[in-house]
Amino acid sequence: MNERSDTILVTGGAGFVGSHTVRLLAGHGFVPVVLDDLSEGHREAVSSAELVEGDLGDESLLDRLFERHRFSAVLHFAGRCYVGESVRDPLRYYRENVAKAVPLLSRVVDAGVRRFVFSSSCGVYGDPRQLPMSEDHPCRPVNPYGHTKLFVERMLQGLENSHGLRWAALRYFNAAGASSDGRLGESHDPETHLIPRTLRAALGREPELTIYGTDYPTPDGTCVRDYVHVEDLARGHLAALQWLAGGQRSGAFNLGTGKGWSVREVVAAAQRVCGRPIPCREGPRRQGDPPELVADASRAERELGWRARHRDLDRTVADAWRWLRNPRYPVSR
């Protein structure tokens, strides 16, 4: 068994946010062990860390992992994260995001792991009653994806009461951008996130960008979202890990910039960055999309000492653009 007290299990660590966090953890002296089935993640994104390729629902694999390592903490990114897909196929989301979390949490409890950082979502809130949204906002998800994230949060609360598991649920808003050095970025197939879809249309890799819904009660009729840079999200996970190590309370924390941008504003920013027009067409709303989501991240600033450093949309888009044009950009699967 690995006896190092700084060994961290990172589920889904080869994905977009997970790989940036693994890189940051390694740079701060931790030893990340990545468990990923590579259905969404990329092996090359975690080339400097131990990668165990496998399914989170494989209980024998989990047993071997926890027998071989004495983990000081678990960072849990693994799961499905597409709102539209969750509406079309809710059972897949309850299976991947909830059912597969149960054997993981069982091993965490049995092994006496005391720190657990969960990649949650602003999707737990549902339609906003006030903006920006704080952690005290009612949690009433409007799609299965949000329901699954909230369900896992509730499990963590129960395990704290029953077994003393200390946890942080990071409710982050729209992950965006890429690493500042262009070495890590976002690659999905199919791609559903707005900024990479917009940039792919600019490069001609997609024929056009579809704007889903232009009749929302927002200034220009399109959805408004808080785009938080992936490097800031990685720092949020490190901050939460350090917070729990200091004996502080468990709880949920929003990670966002506190500023919302509409779909049309994102397109305009992409056109400024790319220096070329982006073909667009208007389509119907997607089921399960709230009109506006903007974070109140003051609790994270006050308690975790975390604040988004990348607050300029053009800079976030420019990082994603640099990554997408990088010759090392992985072929989507």
Q: Which residues are catalytic?
A: 145
Report whether 122 contacts 172 (CB < 8 A). Answer: yes
The rounded distance, in Å, linking the Cα atoms of 93 and 108 is 22
Report whether 17 contacts 175 (CB < 8 A). Answer: yes
Is residue 306 classed as helix, strand or coil in its secondary structure?
coil
Helix axes 313-324, 263-274, angle to 10 degrees: 60
Is residue 210 classed as helix, strand or coil in its secondary structure?
strand
Picking from 297, 295, 323, the residue whose alpha carbon sits closest to that of residue 125 is 295
Strand order, beta sheet including 73-76: 50-53, 31-36, 7-11, 73-76, 115-121, 166-172, 251-255
The rounded distance, in Å, linking the Cα atoms of 212 and 221 is 10
The length of the chain is: 333
And the tokens for 110? 């049995």
